[in-house]
Every structure is written in structure tokens, then in C-alpha cells.
Chain A
Amino acid sequence: MGKRNVAIVGVAESDFGDTPHLSLNGVHSQAAARALADAGLEKTQIDGLFTTGGGSGLFPLEIAEHIGMKPTYIDSTGVGGSSWETFIEHAFTAIETGKCRTALLVYGSTPRSDMKKKLRGGELALAPRGIAQYETPFGPTVASRYGLIARRHMHEYGTKPEHLAAVAVAMRRNAERNPKAYIRTPITVEDVLASRMIADPLHLLDCCLRTDGGGAVIVTRADIASGCRKKPAWVIGTGGAASHVSMAHMDPMTVSPARRSAEIAFGEAGIVPKDIDVLQCYDSFTITVILTLEALGFCRPGEGGDFVADGKLAWDGALPTNTDGGGLSSNHPGMRGIFLLIEAVRQLRGESTAQIPDARVAVCTGTGGFMSHCGTVVLARD
């Protein structure tokens, strides 16, 4: 398997769910402090900051200032939920080339509290200028963009609403094990199908949660990792792939860019799908999971529906996936890719609330935008 020069050594979530007691910056601070304690490192050892851009063009610098850092390596690549897997790739390269010793990835978002305070609405449309002027005027919601993908997949392959629902049911089974998951009430396929339609063919329970929350991940080189509190999770492969922003440019609409990101990452790591003990797969919507499973090669194109139907994505199934409950049941503040990394590391350490026995290889595949970009990270323990 791939090189073992760079490792994730610290992971933490902030409080999540409803966090009216935390400011947006405060979510970042809390997550960073907890991840640092998890790693057992000193704040002064961190020289790299990786965080997504925000409202002001200087957002990464605002976060740096707020948490009292003056990093010499900084990155705010904004590709949506897969930004975090992309940051791992960039941090890996920066650490390997000596441009950075120890990197902090930190995320926070408070959409749930912001909506209650009427600071934002329930839908984030792209402003109808530039390339978005050719789609926004027709009223596509985020859910309906994924609805387009789901509909085409159903048309080409006979994927059924029951298949999509099986993904939501498995994620909820995982959430039942996680005391911190936002929603833990068991659901059935029938419950998903009976929930109200949001963007046909996607029902309410096919859609991720909208919670507050954040997370942080600390990445460092091997010699520093050896002095950390916990066992390292080695970064043994990374890959990224861009696709589109306009839905008319997603071609074909049934193939996730994860096909390309995973090919690169798996090649680098020297693994094939059957080597993977636990998968963390972006689940903004149930269809996201089905396309990603096909793209990663767990099944053939079009077979994702049948693949998930028997519940194998649950923690006690054949392919444990999103063992924290995922974005469908645990938390989803908007760009969820960092939580994939956090749960993968916990599995490799033996710390998950839905622990897979002897998990050695974990894969995270983040998806940004409207299946616009994917980033895949392969992690392994010693």
C-alpha cells in the first residue's frame, strides 16, 4: 500500500445539532481546540491552516485571527463538501514537500441557528449572474438538482424509490448507535416513501439534515505523528475530480466525478474496493450514495440500487458506510466532508460508536456542489 509519511493525528467535532450558544467563529474555535487536545500537540506546532472561504474574501484570515494563528501555509479551496478531502490532498503535498509541518483543517457552519434568527432563508440559490443566469431563473433547488440525477438514474437503470429509501434507512440504523446523532428514531423504507415530496423523486427523508456544527482535523508528518496521543491514520492515497456547476453540463448525469477521484486515490494507495473495511460516503441525498458506490467500483454502473437494497450499508452489514449516521441522520451543516474524515479516523482507532472489528483501511469520498466535484482519501492504520 501507499507511502506512510503523512498522518491524521487529531480529530474532533464541535457541538452540533442546535448550537445557539456558539457563534460561527466560535464553532471553529471549539472544534480546533478539541482536535488539538485529541492530537496531544501544542498550538504553536501548527503552521498550516486549511478552511473554506466565507462571505468576505478574507474568511480564512478571519478564522486565523479569531483562533490566534499566523499560519505560513494557507488554503481555502472552495469546492463545496469535498473541500475537506481536497484539503487532505493539499496538506499531504505541502507536508511531503516541507512547506508545512502540521496542518489544521477547521470547519464550522450554523445554518439551523441562522434560520431561526432569520439571518438566512431555507434555500441557497446561486445568484442569477455569470453561468448561473442560465439555470437560476427556472427555480432549481439544491434538492431538485439531485432530483434530476435521481430521475435519470431511475430511467436508465430501473432504480426505484425503495432503493433510495434503503440508503436512508441504513444511515438511520447507524445513527441509532451514535448518542450525538441529531436524529436516531428508527425508520423504514415505507416511512421514507410516505414522507412528503421535496423534489420529485426525492422525499424529505431522502434529503440530508440541516444542522449547526463544525469539525477539525490535524495532519502532520511521520516523526511528529509518532509523538501524538493516539495512533496515526496514514494518508495513503488521494484524488480529486471536477465535473460541472450547471446541471446541463453534468454529462452523463448518472456518473459521479468520484469515478475519477477514486481511480487516482485507489491507484496511489494500491487498493481495490474489496480492501476497504469501512466507507465514509457523502450523503447529501440518498442518490448521492448510490452514484458514489458505483463510481468507487463496489458495483457496476446502474446496479447501485440493488446493491444497497439489503441493508449492507449499516454498521453490521457487508459494507459499513457512514457509521456515525452520516448527513442523513447525524449532522449536516452544509459542507460535510470533514465529518467523513473524523469518523474514518475513529474507525481506524477503534473509537467509533458503531465500531467495525479490526478496521484497517477506510475510504472517504466527499462530494461538493451538485455532484460538481469529488475528493477521495484513503486512510490506513499501522
Chain B
Amino acid sequence: MDADWFHPVVDVESDNFWRGCREGKLLIKLCDACGRNHFYPRDYCPFCWSAATRWIEASGRGRLYSYSIVHQNPLPPFKDRCPYAIVIVALDEGPRMMANWDFDVPLDQLACDIPVTAVFREMDGVLSLPAFRPIG
């Protein structure tokens, strides 16, 4: 079985987000009806169900809410990457998102609530993924 567990299947709600990653921009959505930001992006606001949502560029800054260091994952391409860390970051704009801890930052610098900023890493010539690094 050669299922692809890595490349997102882009759809009409996600297309701008993934294009933003390729351009080095972290795009989230703002609802003009209720004024709240959300991520991941939806056409209809998950808070008030208004369709008046639009893309905004997030600062990329936030705080590391939690993390886990993956020591075992048999699936490609992750298998060869172990150990690596997944992180949940609370963006300064409000929403939380999952990403990787930037691959060249030592894992012993991981700590909850530290300030972090997003970078974008080209993974294989096709996909750019956000990763987070500590600030300062």
C-alpha cells in the first residue's frame, strides 16, 4: 500500500492557505459579521455561521501551547524523520494550529508557553509547511 499520508488534498476552502504557505504567508480567516478569527479556514464562520469570511495574513507569532516528540511513526515520510516534534501554537490572532517544531531547532528548546514564530519549509519541491521556532 502506497497511500500518501503527507500531501494535503487541496480543496476550494484550503487552496489559498496552501498557496500562502508556498509564498511564506500564514493565512487565516476573519469573519466580518462577528469579528472573530478562525483557523483552519472555512467559507462559513464556525462561530456565527456567516458567509462573510475573508482571508487575512497572520503575524506568524504566537505561544507554544503544547508539544509532543514523535519517536515512532512507521509511515513515510515521517519514519525517517524521527524524532521530530508536533506543536500546537496559539497564534497572537487567537486561533490555534498544529505544525512542526522547526527541524533545525534542538528539541530540548521545546517548552510550553514560550513565544514562537512561523517559518515555512519547502519539504519536497511540492509542499511548503509551516514550522515554528522560538523567538529570542
Given A140-B70, A199-B68, also A133-B10 (CB < 8 A): yes
B78 to chain A, nearest CB (A): 4
* Inter-chain contacts of B8 with A (CB < 8 A): 128-129, 133-134, 136-137
Cα A198 to Cα B74 in complex, Å, equals: 11
- Supposing A128-B4, A128-B6, A152-B112 touch, asked if A137 and B67 sit within 8 A by C-beta, the answer is no
Contacts of B73 in A (CB 8 A): 123, 139, 141, 144
User: Is A223 close to B, CB under 8 A?
Assistant: no
Are A197 and B71 closer than 8 Å at their CB atoms? yes
Chain B CB within 8 A of A149 CB: yes
Q: Is there a chain B Cβ closer than 8 Å to A58's Cβ?
A: no
Is B119 part of the contact surface with A, judged by Cβ < 8 Å? no
Contact A137 to B66, CB < 8 A, known contacts A121-B74, A151-B112, A155-B112: no
A194 at the interface (CB under 8 A from B): no
Q: Are B10 and A155 in contact (CB under 8 A)?
A: no
A133 CB to closest chain B CB, in angstroms? 4
CA A106 to CA B97, docked complex, whole Å: 37
Name A152's closest neighbour in chain B (CB-CB).
Answer: B66
Contact of A248 among B14, B74, B95, B113 (CB under 8 A): B95
* CB-contacts of B15-71 with A (<8 A): 17, 39-40, 65-71
Q: Contact residue range for chain A?
A: 35 or more
In the bound complex, do residue B98 and residue A138 qualify as a contact, i.e. CB atoms below 8 Å apart? yes
CB–CB A128/B96 < 8 A: no
Q: Is the CB of A123 within 8 A of B98?
A: no
Answer yes or no: A318 CB below 8 A from chain B CBs: no
Min Cβ gap B113→A in Å is 7
Q: Decide: A137 and B88 in contact? CB cutoff 8 A.
A: no
Taking the nearest CB of chain A, how far is it from the CB of B107, in angstroms? 8
Instruction: State whether A199 touches B75 (Cβ < 8 A).
Output: no
Per-residue CB proximity of A30-67 to B under 8 Å, as 1/0? 00000000000000000000000000000000000000
Q: With the chains together, A197 CA to B98 CA distance in Å? A: 21
Question: How close is A200's CB to chain B, nearest CB, in angstroms?
Answer: 4
Is B100 located at the chain interface by the 8 A CB criterion? yes
Q: Could you tell me which A residues sit within 8 Å of B by CB distance?
A: 121-123, 125, 127-131, 133-141, 143-145, 147-152, 155, 196-202, 246-249, 251, 253
